[in-house]
A and B are shown apart, each in its own frame.
Chain A
């Protein structure tokens, strides 16, 4: 029963807070739905574009440079997830862990340097 207790002790709390937040948001939205006026007028839904009629649909493609940043981000974020357990067990494992992490971070830094050299970080 121990692990069940622990599960309830921690994540029942998160679940309860999520539900409480959901109830608050939905209450606010429903209240505004009940209290706010509502009228049928098609042109009110025109999306805002400096007062002129919008030119075309806005849901177009996204610039390539954002994808480059996203790819780099994924690499570094996964790396962060790897380093956190290392940071916790580092003192027990001893100096060997330091050299291993040096190699790991070195490979990452080489990747960053390569992306930098290739111009992925340049905003043109």
Chain B
């Protein structure tokens, strides 16, 4: 092509393919190392045992014990400073972090395909089906495309604050997976303040989102960020109150104990407290900015909300975290309300982590379903719903649950009777308060005039339509 046909001269710097090849080799080596470590741990080459596939956590525990025995004679100076078992702790932490990272990466790759196919099916179209069999390689193509796109920085942007948010959003998205209880022994971080950890980590993302909107120097981005922050902080309160009911009932903030409580009592907390389950799920959709509540990035109003100005890999990180967090919400709904890794005795036959994954993906499927079905709420409706509806009735429900816990402590009926009574009382209260509070707020469905949709022409043009509207 001659220079005359190409009047806009742009200096383009494309790096050699050698770098791409090097990167590919590094990735392959990483994958091979992960598979090798998993093989060594699972196959029991370490001390000659064959570890049961039903419990991957057992292999980890054995590895730790073995490391502790090996390191009995470590230098005293280090153990005085770092504790006695620091080698096994650090090894365990590194292995677990690698595991979470690998899982998260694979999950994100799969989810892009799953979500687009499901939404396509709901909207009666095919979804991606060109790249590879059933379009399965679409996420890989997407990732390669995103990584090759130029990252633009808008004029007048706060450059440092513009660089930070993708990192700050991604790390909490990864860290919430640390407390997920996959199986009886299988959780990366089994801390006794698990619920608080979860709330704290997940609310960090709000800051990053506001930073992104502010630094972009774009009206849409700032509007989106303001809306997001207002919505996320409002819905954090019903979310904490729903978790508070769980903590009150089980008497623990440790996620493994909460699941164990449900296993011991042969009940799912979602059955005992339907209001808490609904509140948690609805608030989570607001925290995730997903469709019933996606005013933060409403593409028909404000272009893409807080990440309007982000392009290339930075946009890719925002997108990936959104998908990953959706499954994380599914996982926490499963752990708190749907019995975690238990399935009424089946967990002795099926690996518990598979049951848990099935429940988590079930929750994720409901989220995708909502996205394909519901329209978007208005911002003022959403805020009113949080402050005037969810928070008061959640507070009342917390007080009721406290009474029930006291009653369960002082009466000595069989477990089954007690829990049935509690479940029935909560269900009755939920039905009553949902109707009563809606009536209190002025919702009178029987007094609503049902207007049949009529063609404006039949009604006599725009003037008649206006008359109908103001009547």
Interface residues of A (CB under 8 A from B): 1, 4-5, 7-10, 12-22, 24-26, 28-29, 31-42, 44-49, 54, 57-60, 62-63, 66, 69-70, 72-73, 76-77, 80-81, 83-84, 87-88, 90-91, 95, 98, 101-102, 105, 108-109, 112, 116, 121, 123
Interface residues of B (CB under 8 A from A): 10-15, 19-20, 23, 79, 82-86, 89-90, 92-94, 96-98, 100-101, 105, 146-158, 166-167, 170-171, 174-175, 178, 188-191, 195-196, 199, 214, 216-222, 226, 229-230, 233-234, 236-237, 240-241, 244, 247-248, 251-253, 303, 308-309, 312-314, 316-317, 379-380, 383-384, 387-388, 391-392, 395, 398-399, 402-403, 405-406, 409
Known: A1-B83, A4-B83. A16 touches B387 (CB 8 A): no
Q: Which of B230, B398, B406 contacts A66 (CB 8 A)?
A: B230
B236 touches A73 (CB 8 A): yes
Give Cα A81–Cα B229 distance, bound, in whole angstroms: 20
Other than A38-B12, A66-B226, give 20 A-B pairs with Cβ distance below 8 A.
Answer: A13-B178, A18-B171, A20-B100, A21-B101, A25-B167, A29-B167, A29-B313, A32-B147, A32-B151, A35-B19, A35-B147, A41-B10, A42-B155, A47-B309, A62-B226, A77-B236, A88-B252, A90-B248, A90-B405, A91-B409
A49 touches B219 (CB 8 A): yes
A37 touches B12 (CB 8 A): yes
The smallest C-beta distance from A123 to any residue of chain B, in angstroms, reads 3
Which of A29, A34, A66, A72 has the most CB atoms of chain B within a 10 A radius of its CB? A29
B402 touches A98 (CB 8 A): yes
Known: A73-B236, A90-B405. A13 touches B92 (CB 8 A): yes
Give Cα A60–Cα B229 distance, bound, in whole angstroms: 16
A84 touches B244 (CB 8 A): yes
Q: Which of B20, B216, B247 contacts A47 (CB 8 A)?
A: B216
Known: A12-B89, A70-B233. A121 touches B388 (CB 8 A): yes
Give Cα A28–Cα B314 distance, bound, in whole angstroms: 9
Q: B84: which A residues are within 8 A, CB to CB?
A: 1, 5
Known: A88-B253, A101-B402. A22 touches B171 (CB 8 A): yes
The smallest C-beta distance from A75 to any residue of chain B, in angstroms, reads 10
Known: A17-B188, A18-B171, A34-B15. A73 touches B147 (CB 8 A): no
B93 touches A15 (CB 8 A): yes
A59 touches B253 (CB 8 A): no
Q: List 7 A-B contacts (CB under 8 A).
A: A8-B89, A14-B175, A21-B175, A39-B150, A48-B309, A60-B222, A66-B226
The smallest C-beta distance from A35 to any residue of chain B, in angstroms, reads 5
